[in-house]
Amino acid sequence: MARDAAEAGVRAPALDEMSRKLPYRVDDARHVLEVGQPPLEIAGARLRALHLEDRLALEIANATGSSIAYNVVTTAVTAAPVAPAAPAGCDAAPVRLFNAMTIRPGGREIRVECAWHTGIALAVVRVETVEVLPLSAWYLDHVPPSAVGIEPRIARGHQLPETGAPCAFALPQAVRSGLERGEIGWRDLIDFYARPRCQTYQFPLLYRAFKRDGERGVPALPAGM
């Protein structure tokens, strides 16, 4: 951790700090965001819809005093009347590079949601945030967003850090199936990859987010390893 912290340019945490339960917030109520509306603050994030040239975008600001990992699940809708189906063109909209994994204190990220057309809006269907240490945020930035269940439409815009080796691995089918069945959550994956370096360790199938400080050792590994 000391070597990684030096490379990241952050303070090296003590081992007990890396073994603490991480503050988690979630909001799974449906909210519709239109361009020009005041920002919506939920679950530690401040959200605002933007019209950027020929695209609809979402600004996500960190509303906490710590670095956060975040997961904002959205779909494009027609503002009036509200339509359940997303308009065509969202997957093909020109990408804008951003950090799809974490936001530092006082920071914000802007991601492309869809191609722009009159009347388009965003339905926010789930927001999750986890407060993490600076070194944990740096660790998480190297994890492919797809490895924590973030959809390809969003994951394709993720910009890797300039320092540190990327973690080039695909989401195992067993983990993907666990996500689809609701047996593994985004929070579980974030909780694991916030603690050990992803270049060395991969998510154990039975791992779940810490429920109390010092619940297990770090890194938490499957039996026999």
Interatomic CA distance for residues 205 and 218, integer angstroms: 16
Residue-number span of the structural domain to which 169 is assigned: 2-193
Lowest mean pLDDT of 77-81, 109-113, 163-167, 211-215, name the range.
77-81
Burial class (CB in 10 A: 0-12, 13-18, 19+), 52: middle
Q: Is the peptide bond before 166 cis (omega within 30 degrees of 0)?
A: no
Note whether residue 222 is domain-resident. no
Whether 61 is covered by a domain: the verdict is yes
Residue 139 inside a domain? The answer is yes
Burial (Cβ within 10 Å: 0-12, 13-18, ≥19) of residue 1: middle
Residue 213 included in any domain:
no
* DSSP label of 18: G
Is residue 82 very low, low, confident or very high in pLDDT (cuts 50, 70, 90)? Answer: very low
Residue 209 lies in a domain: no
pLDDT at 63 over 90: yes
Of 195, 225, 224, the C-alpha closest to 208 is 195
Residue 102 lies in a domain: yes
* Cβ proximity of 85 and 50 under 8 Å: no
**Mean pLDDT for all residues in the chain:** 90
Is residue 173, in this structure, part of any structural domain at all? yes
Residue-wise pLDDT tens digits, 83-130: 444 445 788 899 999 999 999 999 999 999 999 999 999 999 999 999
The model's pTM is 0.91
**Residue 85: its pLDDT value, please?**
44
In a domain, 203, yes or no: no
Q: Could you give the number of structural domains in the chain?
A: 1
| In the chain, % of residues over pLDDT 70 | 93
The radius of gyration of the chain from alpha carbons, rounded to an integer in Å, stands at: 18
CA pair distance 104, 110, nearest whole angstrom:
13
pLDDT at 88: 53
